[in-house]
A and B are shown apart, each in its own frame.
Chain A
């Protein structure tokens, strides 16, 4: 049975160009660190990929460190910057309440280990970081400010440039987790004023297992992985040559098609939200109202009085993949910390589903969802009495 895939924010299918680029490299031998001809040709692929990727995100190739993905990039940015010694005498780490756990838990860990003082900046009901609270928090004690480019659950864009500028004014390092943004909306590292930016290949049509951290050249980073000294001595480990090629191919295509795709997906999302509303009039939309304030493809919808887990299960049985957008602990879904931070009750947070569209999404996907949703919601509502 063909699946209706509405979970592109979790991962999106690889684009054919990335598959081709990877397949080409997978059949070759060569460690990019080796000195012989095979090594040199591997290294050439890595560096060409680096240049291609950097060019799409407004960075210079020397600013790009390949990692294993978004989680590692976030860990390296936060721990690496905090431990680098560059911020002597500064112990405060500032982040938001709606970050991905790769950021939240890295920051929390620095806090628990006793070395950092952690501050969480609240968000407004649309999920946007409160800049006035941030301005009152960041000062000369601040080592690092980390706020995501766009939220993965509700899609709300953050005022990253203002945050980076504010951090810079106080001599603090700024980082943004842009995993959901790169390839989907315009992201320009040099214009952003940021010091550090994380992104990953599999969210934009590339392979799993490879990501990047952009770091301004003058910024010192303590390594998390020690070893052979690859990636400017910051991130040791033999590079996955084929994955760098797939990453570059995917981002090049995403950039080339970005304007038309962004427009197409925004229209598709509008159609999704409108037709869900027509089918289930009491559904609630979470996140920013204005188109310019959110990612193109994420629709976070609440079905008050229903368990999102139950709807997810019924949609799954009907052939539709979506997400509750919430973290799991031993497979038990927790209410979304993002929606809680936005002021929703635990019950409302547990009623929320995330539908996320991507490059392979079509109007037929939206129609299939709307055909299956009312019955799923009806049953979930009936089951809520026995939750």
Chain B
């Protein structure tokens, strides 16, 4: 088939493209330029927007002897991912921009454009498995649990999955690096990217303050009494402990955590770890990787990119999900995705809107 290989300039997408070539596909490499003003030089931090990354991707394509182009998706990325990221924080939520990018850019804008141009599939270096089951394609966790990216792909629907190609899902990361070395890909030892690619220096709080301004407000306890001040509610995530700078210790001497962010009053509510525990979660805008499950569904849910899957019962209704966890969990932040799993298989995803004990 004709494959469009998204090449970030990192080791994973380079090896994925190499495997697509080796499998006999007609492969074309594209690097997605997601920023209008790429920084030419950066020390340490790596991301997917820099000039070096475009160069690294191009060199990998040279080695693989495949055509290579840079597609400018900076306007789409700014509108769909960066602005959404800022707006979500402003609304007191904790967004996941990588998931959003998969949903709106890689497997939407790029895939649609690629299909129109005559390609059959988009190949990426994501660690996840696609398993054919009859006419359907199932999305499963990667074999390498430490690199599994099925969570950030959980938003893809059946049409998108049918046109996706993840050659690395059954391989361990260490083996991917070794393979890159064997294939003479210069990116074999390039460090993994960890941070949000459009925040080059990794300073998310600084980025948000620059975009949203300095908006000080009160920090209150569960009874509503003021216990401190903050410089902007967007600097906090539910479950966060650090950075509260509370002068007075709590009466019980226990550490305090962010329990809630209320943008309308610009307040942060804090309390003890116990108060973080939730067992009921509401989630909106569900998407399904295949058939929608029945109204009453039992399986596992994952509420953070690197969190554990937790047994739960889910009621599926018209505008969202009502989730009851078997045992209470902490650090459930509105804005994050709740991804549903049956064993290793991803069933669907929805956006957490509220959680309570």
Query: A366: shortest Cβ distance to chain B, in Å?
Result: 23
Asked whether, in the complex, the Cβ of B116 is within 8 Å of the Cβ of A379, the reply is yes
Asked whether, in the complex, the Cβ of B28 is within 8 Å of the Cβ of A313, the reply is yes
Do A332 and B33 form a contact, CB below 8 Å, given A313-B69, A386-B112? Answer: yes
Shortest Cβ distance from B31 into A: residue: A331
How many residues of chain B have a CB within 8 Å of chain A?
19
Q: What is the bound-complex CA distance between A93 and B70, given in angstroms?
A: 35
Q: Which of B88-139 contact A (CB under 8 A)?
A: 109, 112-113, 116-118
Do A332 and B117 form a contact, CB below 8 Å, given A316-B67, A386-B112? Answer: no
Do A317 and B72 form a contact, CB below 8 Å, given A330-B33, A331-B33, A386-B109? Answer: no
B297 interfacial contact with A, CB 8 Å: no
Residues of A within 8 A of B224 (CB): none
Shortest Cβ distance from B71 into A: residue: A309
Instruction: Count A-B contacts at CB 8 Å.
Output: 47
Asked whether, in the complex, the Cβ of B51 is within 8 Å of the Cβ of A330, the reply is yes
Query: A375: shortest Cβ distance to chain B, in Å?
Result: 9
Q: Which of A313, A330, A331, A333 contacts B117 (CB 8 A)?
A: A313
Contact string, B63-79, partner A, CB cutoff 8 A, digits 1/0? Answer: 00001011110100000
Query: B324: shortest Cβ distance to chain A, in Å?
Result: 40
Q: Which of A330, A380, A385 contacts B70 (CB 8 A)?
A: A330
Counting chain A CB atoms within 10 Å of each CB, the highest count among B58, B70, B109 belongs to B70
Q: Which of B46-63 contact A (CB under 8 A)?
A: 51, 54, 58
Asked whether, in the complex, the Cβ of A330 is within 8 Å of the Cβ of B38, the reply is yes
Counting chain B CB atoms within 10 Å of each CB, the highest count among A309, A332, A379 belongs to A332
Residues of A within 8 A of B69 (CB): 309, 313, 331
Shortest Cβ distance from B69 into A: residue: A313
Residues of B within 8 A of A310 (CB): 113, 117
Query: B197: shortest Cβ distance to chain A, in Å?
Result: 14
Q: Which of B67, B72, B118 contacts A332 (CB 8 A)?
A: B72
Residues of A within 8 A of B51 (CB): 330
Shortest Cβ distance from B76 into A: residue: A387
Residues of A within 8 A of B118 (CB): 314, 379
Q: Which of B165-202 contact A (CB under 8 A)?
A: none
Asked whether, in the complex, the Cβ of B70 is within 8 Å of the Cβ of A331, the reply is yes
Q: What is the bound-complex CA distance between A330 and B72, given in angstroms?
A: 10
Q: What is the bound-complex CA distance between A386 and B51, given in angstroms?
A: 24
Counting chain A CB atoms within 10 Å of each CB, the highest count among B28, B31, B112, B116 belongs to B116
Shortest Cβ distance from A310 into B: residue: B117
Residues of B within 8 A of A386 (CB): 109, 112-113, 116
Asked whether, in the complex, the Cβ of B28 is within 8 Å of the Cβ of A317, the reply is yes
Query: A315: shortest Cβ distance to chain B, in Å?
Result: 11
Residues of A within 8 A of B109 (CB): 386
Q: Which of A355-387 contact B (CB under 8 A)?
A: 379-380, 382-383, 385-387
Query: A185: shortest Cβ distance to chain B, in Å?
Result: 33
Query: B224: shortest Cβ distance to chain A, in Å?
Result: 49
Asked whether, in the complex, the Cβ of B116 is within 8 Å of the Cβ of A385, the reply is yes
Do A317 and B67 form a contact, CB below 8 Å, given A380-B117, A385-B116, A386-B116? Answer: yes
Q: What is the bound-complex CA distance between A112 and B72, given in angstroms?
A: 28
Q: What is the bound-complex CA distance between A143 and B9, given in angstroms?
A: 46
Residues of B within 8 A of A316 (CB): 67
Q: What is the bound-complex CA distance between A385 and B28, given in angstroms?
A: 21
Asked whether, in the complex, the Cβ of A314 is within 8 Å of the Cβ of B70, the reply is no
Q: Which of B28, B58, B67 contacts A331 (CB 8 A)?
A: B58
- Residues of chain B having any CB pair with chain A under 8 Å: 28, 31, 33, 38, 51, 54, 58, 67, 69-72, 74, 109, 112-113, 116-118
> Can you give 23 contacting A-B residue pairs, CB < 8 Å?
A309-B71, A310-B117, A313-B67, A313-B117, A314-B118, A330-B33, A330-B38, A330-B51, A330-B54, A331-B54, A331-B69, A331-B70, A332-B70, A332-B72, A332-B74, A379-B118, A382-B117, A383-B112, A383-B117, A385-B112, A386-B113, A386-B116, A387-B113
Task: Report, nearest first, the 3 A-B pairs whose CB atoms are least far apart.
Answer: A331-B70, A383-B116, A386-B112
* A331-B54, A332-B70 given; 15 more Cβ-contact pairs under 8 Å: A309-B69, A310-B113, A313-B67, A330-B38, A331-B33, A332-B72, A332-B74, A379-B116, A380-B117, A383-B113, A385-B112, A385-B116, A386-B109, A386-B112, A387-B113
- Residues of chain A having any CB pair with chain B under 8 Å: 309-310, 313-314, 316-317, 330-333, 379-380, 382-383, 385-387
